Amino acid sequence: MSNEGFVTLYPVIIGLSVMLFSLGVIGVLVRRNAIIIFMSVELMLNAANLAFIAFARAFNQIDGQVFVFFVMVVAAAEVAVGLALIVAIFRTKHSINVDDINQLKG
Amino acid sequence: MPGLEIIVFGALALIAVAAAVMMITTRNAVHSALFLVVVMASLSVFFLGLWAPFVAMVQVAVYAGAIMVLFLFVIMLLGAERTGARMLRSWQTPLAIGLAVTVVLLGALLLLNTAPIEVADRPTAEIVMGSAEAIGLALYSVWLFPFEAVSVLLLVAMIGAVVMTRDERKNKSA
């Protein structure tokens, strides 16, 4: 992207990051399916990645992109463990509706 | 040309937001996962434009190609995709055949039309921002400790995933 293009699009990119993050939060709060909640969390992480890359471009520093690397690795690890958890829960409860996982409720 | 960039990236932003909205509203979990793949692909194009080509390719390969495939595996495993059988619509088969023919013709056209490339000398200028070389330089010097720590994290996550899905009955009989 040329510099004029970036300066014009910078609000769009940051706004897009904010919108995607908010949509991820809405997805986590509104949906009851555990897997969809998980995917909304991934959406939030992607929004944060976009912000990192945008600022790395703005300040011409590579550190933002390196951090996106780390975010992706942590997301991969979290997805592996989280999906294993969901599968293990499904084995006993036969449901992935988070409203059904309430045995610890006082 | 900044005008073209604004149009392309603006349209891409709209596509990303629309796909994200569809992702959180659709009832079918598989559709949701595929809409998330659309979001990730459009973000990958954003990364390409923002001087991050390496990260863009990693996003496609790791995020859209591995993590979302894992999601789809688990959705299928848990049977969350069951929404009723859908027959292939009558207009989809001719459309698919038409697209395949177009792709083959385009490929043939490209093969016949490319001029022989000229191999350039290795560029001796400074390191391009966002290239694999630049990220490698930063990753192995300034960010070395997080890099090593993150590999331990991956190992721990792998062990955790295996332990949690292990079949308990085999243990009790031993």
pLDDT exceeds cutoff 90 at B149: yes
pLDDT exceeds cutoff 60 at B174: no
pLDDT exceeds cutoff 70 at B171: no
B117 Cβ neighbours under 8 A, 6+ residues apart: none
Candidate from A33-42, A92-101, B132-141 with smallest mean pLDDT: A92-101
Question: pLDDT tens digit string along B55-84?
Answer: 999 999 999 999 999 999 999 988 866 554
Q: Which residue of A has its CA nearest to B151?
A: A73
pLDDT exceeds cutoff 80 at B92: no
Give the C-alpha separation, A97 to B91, whole Å: 36
Q: What are phi and psi of B141, to 5 degrees?
A: -120, -65
Checking phi first, is residue B130 left (phi over 0); if not, alpha (psi -120 to 50) or beta?
A: left
Write out the E strands in A10-75.
none
pLDDT of residue B153: 96
pLDDT of residue B165: 82
Contact B129 A62 (CB under 8 A): yes
Q: Which residue of A has its CA nearest to B18?
A: A20
Residues of A in contact with B60 (CB under 8 A): none
B26 three-class SS: coil
Q: What are phi and psi of B28, to 5 degrees?
A: -85, 125
CB-CB: which of A15, A43, A54 is closest to B39? A43
Question: pLDDT tens digit string along A44-55?
Answer: 999 999 999 999
A61 Cβ neighbours under 8 A, 6+ residues apart: none
Q: What are phi and psi of A33, to 5 degrees?
A: -80, 125
Can you give the C-alpha Rg of chain B in angstroms? 23
For the record, the structure tokens of A35 come out as 């897997």
ipTM over 0.95: no
Question: Shortest Cα distance from A40 to chain B (angstroms)?
Answer: 7
| β-strand partners of A25 | none
- Better pLDDT: A103 or B37: B37
Question: pLDDT tens digit string along A56-87?
Answer: 998 888 999 999 999 999 999 999 999 999 99
Question: pLDDT tens digit string along B95-109?
Answer: 777 888 888 888 787
Chain pair A-B, CB pairs under 8 angstroms: 183
Contact in structure between B140 and B147 (CB atoms under 8 Å): yes
Selected for mutation to probe chain A from B47, B128, B163 (highest A CB count within 10 Å) is: B47
**Measured CA distances, B103 to A3, B59, B144 (Å):** 35, 25, 44
Angle (CA) B57 B36 A16, round 5° = 80
